[in-house]
Structure 1
Amino acid sequence: MVFLFCGGDVVKQFWSPNSINKNKAMVENLQNHGVITSDEVAKAMEAVDRGVFVPDPSSAYVDSPMSIGYNATISAPHMHAMCLQLLEKNLKPGMRVLDVGSGTGYLTACFAVMVGPEGRCVGVEHIPELVASSMKNIEASAASPLVKQGSLAVHVGDGRQGWAEFAPYDAIHVGAAAPEIPEALIDQLKPGGRLVIPVGNIFQDLKVVDKNSDGSVSIKSETSVRYVPLTSREAQLRGD
């Protein structure tokens, strides 16, 4: 096994880079190594082909992050699986989910498949070019019907402010590291809802934030991670 920095944690690479060329095989490997334990998560990741969402399809199923331009990355498959697992109970059909820093749209599409046409999935990304390309990716994927039905959309905006139009959300995922948890995201979380967000600068932890019925929050650290920073569009384009 090889250790590597992924779009999240320093983790074991579960397979050699050339051994996987099929989306289903990628998901099965994640199941075999205990990263995916939920049937619902497995079904969503099998339905949404990662190869549609990456700039280099020949490496789509390797357990590694990829640059997507604009000083942004798509996380490694194991990190996407981990976040889906952490949010799985808040991604039931009919629920609402917000994906901050939606990038290529891959995880947004997985969320949308899980909450289904009765639910609502909102992606927020502050790079307009990524929003445009992510919508093309989504429309070429299994999540395409959800766009047509109006239950899935990606918007240009500052994800640190969330997306108030469809709040409150059962689940919120943030795909970049914030120096601290944005209050706007906690405010837009439904009681009983869960937020998963990497927090920190040089040293980062993946935080799981649960909102209690009285509006208070409980926060725990899941694992050490390494993400690009959650910042302004201008700072991201400068590579700050």
Structure 2
Amino acid sequence: MMKVTSEADSRFKGGFFPLSRAFRKTTEASDHLSLSLSLTLLNSIREVISHNMKQFWSPNSINKNKAMVENLQSHGVITSDEVAKAMEAVDRGLFVPDRSCAYVDSPLSIGYNVTISAPHMHAMCLQLLEKNLKPGMRVLDVGSGTGYLTACFAVMVGSEGRAIGVEHIPELMASSIKNIEASDAASPLLKQGSLAIHVGDGRQGWAEFAPYDAIHVGAAAPVIPEALIDQLKPGGRLVIPVGNLFQDLQVVDKNSDGSVSIRSETSVRYVPLTSREAQLRGE
């Protein structure tokens, strides 16, 4: 049995309830109040960021992708130079169906009942994984979608590393390859072989190149898949949304003895990590 330690047990009836320390309460009624307050705060922050983005992006704006990154930096979402450089290098506009909406801080539909996450969520996940995305390291992106975050990972680990995306919708995988080929920063890594996208059930990971220094999951699992923990290298980190109605972005660190430490980062709302058939049915 794997030993698990947790910074805070955030389980409650109906799923996972990610509580911030500032709002942590003891009664069910106050739990619902704290959730409401937390989500209100998150929405307020998002509105401020989106408003400032619109100010940046006048019709005469030269580089909207760079402006997006600078705005996320100015609000403290991006704090690392490496993350900023990767997001500047990989133009988000190449990875969304409607480029006119590419730089707005909001998730966007990419078809097949899924979305590409908002820029601030991509930035947050890159920040959480930054120390495990050094040149030469290996990273797995589960639910790679349009390929955007996988491309950012690939830029960070470089040609000596390996970035693997797993996507269970073949059409999305094929279009993500085209997106990556259009990226000046990511295309050479795809051709060289250090960046690859595969069709598969991401809940099973991708054992061929395991163990990984970093694993990112772009959909919410009811519980953390054991296969992903097994494919995590000692010293590695997994970032995954967990829960059903209430979801929590969890950070899983594997210790040298194989045990894992889990902490809750923030409240989130992702599409479910499920089978291809269930996803296409909208379940």
Whether the aligned pair in 2 keeps the contact of 1:171 and 1:194 (CA below 8 Å) is yes
Task: Return the match for 1:218 from 252, 261, 266.
Answer: 261
Whether the aligned pair in 2 keeps the contact of 1:100 and 1:162 (CA below 8 Å) is yes
Whether the aligned pair in 2 keeps the contact of 1:191 and 1:213 (CA below 8 Å) is yes
Give the SS at the match of 2:224: coil
Aligned CA distance change for structure 1 residues 236 and 31 (closer, same or farther; 3 Å): same
Aligned CA distance change for structure 1 residues 69 and 17 (closer, same or farther; 3 Å): farther
1:182 is displaced (CA, Å) by 0.1
Aligned CA distance change for structure 1 residues 100 and 47 (closer, same or farther; 3 Å): same
- Tell me, in whole angstroms, the C-alpha distance in 2 between the residues paired with 1:222 and 1:20: 35
- Tell me, in whole angstroms, the C-alpha distance in 1 between the residues paired with 2:163 and 2:251: 19
- Tell me, in whole angstroms, the C-alpha distance in 2 between the residues paired with 1:6 and 1:102: 31
Whether the aligned pair in 1 keeps the contact of 2:14 and 2:245 (CA below 8 Å) is no
1:20 is displaced (CA, Å) by 9.9
TM-score, length-normalised on structure 1?
A: 0.92
Whether the aligned pair in 2 keeps the contact of 1:176 and 1:228 (CA below 8 Å) is yes
Aligned CA distance change for structure 1 residues 174 and 107 (closer, same or farther; 3 Å): same
Aligned CA distance change for structure 1 residues 13 and 226 (closer, same or farther; 3 Å): farther
Whether the aligned pair in 1 keeps the contact of 2:106 and 2:117 (CA below 8 Å) is yes
Aligned CA distance change for structure 1 residues 216 and 237 (closer, same or farther; 3 Å): same
Give the SS at the match of 2:239: strand
1:180 is displaced (CA, Å) by 0.2
Whether the aligned pair in 1 keeps the contact of 2:159 and 2:194 (CA below 8 Å) is yes
Q: Alignment identity in percent?
A: 91
Give the SS at the match of 2:54: strand
Give the SS at the match of 2:166: strand
Give the SS at the match of 1:222: strand
Aligned CA distance change for structure 1 residues 196 and 33 (closer, same or farther; 3 Å): same
Whether the aligned pair in 2 keeps the contact of 1:20 and 1:26 (CA below 8 Å) is no
CA RMSD of aligned residues (A): 3.6
Q: In the alignment, is residue 50 of structure 1 matched against residue 92 of structure 2?
A: yes
Whether the aligned pair in 2 keeps the contact of 1:7 and 1:73 (CA below 8 Å) is no
Whether the aligned pair in 2 keeps the contact of 1:103 and 1:125 (CA below 8 Å) is yes
Whether the aligned pair in 1 keeps the contact of 2:57 and 2:64 (CA below 8 Å) is no
1:153-178 alpha-carbon deviations (Å, 9 max, x no partner) = 00000000000000000000000000
1:232 is displaced (CA, Å) by 0.1
Whether the aligned pair in 1 keeps the contact of 2:77 and 2:120 (CA below 8 Å) is yes
Q: Which runs of 5+ in 1 are unaligned?
A: none
Give the SS at the match of 1:13: helix
Whether the aligned pair in 1 keeps the contact of 2:167 and 2:199 (CA below 8 Å) is yes
Give the SS at the match of 2:265: strand
TM-score, length-normalised on structure 2?
A: 0.78
Aligned CA distance change for structure 1 residues 87 and 14 (closer, same or farther; 3 Å): farther
Whether the aligned pair in 1 keeps the contact of 2:125 and 2:239 (CA below 8 Å) is yes
Relative to total residues, which structure has the larger strand share, 1 or 2? 1
- How many residues align? The count is 234
Structure 1 segments of 4+ aligned residues over 6 angstroms from their partners: 5-8, 11-21
1:202-223 alpha-carbon deviations (Å, 9 max, x no partner) = 1000000000000000000000
Name the larger-Rg structure: 2
- Tell me, in whole angstroms, the C-alpha distance in 1 between the residues paired with 2:281 and 2:218: 19
Relative to total residues, which structure has the larger helix share, 1 or 2? 2
1:7-43 alpha-carbon deviations (Å, 9 max, x no partner) = 99xx999999999970000000000000000000000
Q: In the alignment, is residue 6 of structure 1 matched against residue 24 of structure 2?
A: no
- Tell me, in whole angstroms, the C-alpha distance in 2 between the residues paired with 1:63 and 1:103: 18
1:238 is displaced (CA, Å) by 0.1
1:6 is displaced (CA, Å) by 24
Aligned CA distance change for structure 1 residues 43 and 26 (closer, same or farther; 3 Å): same
Whether the aligned pair in 1 keeps the contact of 2:103 and 2:119 (CA below 8 Å) is yes
- Tell me, in whole angstroms, the C-alpha distance in 2 between the residues paired with 1:62 and 1:6: 34
- Aligned equivalent of 2:75: 33
